[in-house]
Amino acid sequence: MVDNEELNLIEIFNDLWRKKFFLGFCFFIPAIVALIVSFLIPKRYTSETTFLAPEVAAGGGIIQTPFGGFSSSGLGQSSITSQAVIALLKSDIMIKELIEQFNIMEHYDFEKERDAIEFVKEKMTYIEFIADEGIIKLSVETYSPEVSKAMLEFYINNLKLLNQEFKLTTETPIVKIISPPYIPQEDSFPNTKLNVIIAGFLGLMTGLLFIYFKSKF
């Protein structure tokens, strides 16, 4: 029985070796197509900034509650919370001013301001609150590395202006930046290497399945 299994494995290997050019074709053609498509897709660039959560910057901390929420410790009455900072960053008033400043309605061919606001919130701006580390990460992805950085700087500067308008805290600056915005040197989308690997692997699997079913029927 062992000998039969060894013979079957040898036969399978020999059969695949005879079809190596076909399998190579199945791998490289999809990989090449994926490479070409990746080069044709407009590239997007992501700039990121990191600042301390206000609770941590004030010498306090952030405590995760059993219900999945967060509470603050060590904050004075004049301090602002991380939730308030994130709410300002996501607010319509912030996004509307960003849209006007960078003429997003025209650049992205939006007819309705609401569509532009949702696009900025869901497709362009990303906010990550990492309570364990006491930081908030803010990133922006656009078709221009310089614009991505400029938008981050707008967010940070406009936080100060909105704070002055709503009088949320007397502390300045409203956030303490530990990683300033930067001009990204490489594109964040598309992931060319990953696209090529996935396309090649799927093509190879398709070729193997084709050989298998052809041998059975």
CB-based contacts of 201, cutoff 8 Å, min separation 6? 27
Given a cut of 80, is residue 9 above it in pLDDT? no
What burial class does residue 52 get, using C-beta atoms within 10 Å of its C-beta: 0-12 exposed, 13-18 middle, 19+ buried? middle
* pLDDT tens-digit readout, 74-116: 555 557 888 999 999 999 999 999 999 999 999 999 999 999 9
Q: What pLDDT does 15 receive?
A: 79
Given a cut of 60, is residue 2 above it in pLDDT? no
Q: Worst-scoring range by mean pLDDT, 24-33, 70-79, 113-122, 124-133?
A: 70-79
Given a cut of 60, is residue 1 above it in pLDDT? no
Kindly report the average pLDDT of the chain as a whole number. 87
Given a cut of 80, is residue 118 above it in pLDDT? yes
Q: CA-to-CA distance for 207 and 217, rounded, in angstroms?
A: 16
| Orientation of helix 2-18 relative to helix 192-216, angle to 10° | 120
Q: What pLDDT does 68 receive?
A: 41
Residue ranges per structural domain of the chain: 2-41+191-216, 45-179
Does the domain formed by 45-179 have CATH 3.30.70?
yes
Given a cut of 70, is residue 3 above it in pLDDT? no
Q: CA-to-CA distance for 113 and 121, rounded, in angstroms?
A: 12
Name the 3-class secondary structure at 193. Answer: helix
Given a cut of 70, is residue 7 above it in pLDDT? no
Q: CB of 191 within 8 A of CB of 43? A: no
Q: What pLDDT does 66 receive?
A: 41
Given a cut of 60, is residue 50 above it in pLDDT? yes
Query: How big is the chain, counted in residues?
Result: 217
pTM: 0.78
Q: What is the mean pLDDT of residues 134-156?
A: 96
CB-based contacts of 38, cutoff 8 Å, min separation 6? 190, 191, 192, 195, 196
* pLDDT tens-digit readout, 165-212: 888 887 788 889 999 999 999 999 999 999 999 999 999 999 999 988
Under the banding of pLDDT at 50, 70 and 90, the label for residue 164 is confident
Q: What is the mean pLDDT of residues 29-48?
A: 94
Q: What pLDDT does 61 receive?
A: 64
Query: Which tokens go with 10?
Result: 């040898």
* pLDDT tens-digit readout, 21-35: 999 999 999 999 999
3-state SS record for 140-178:
EEECCHHHHHHHHHHHHHHHHHHHHHHCCCCCCCCCEEE
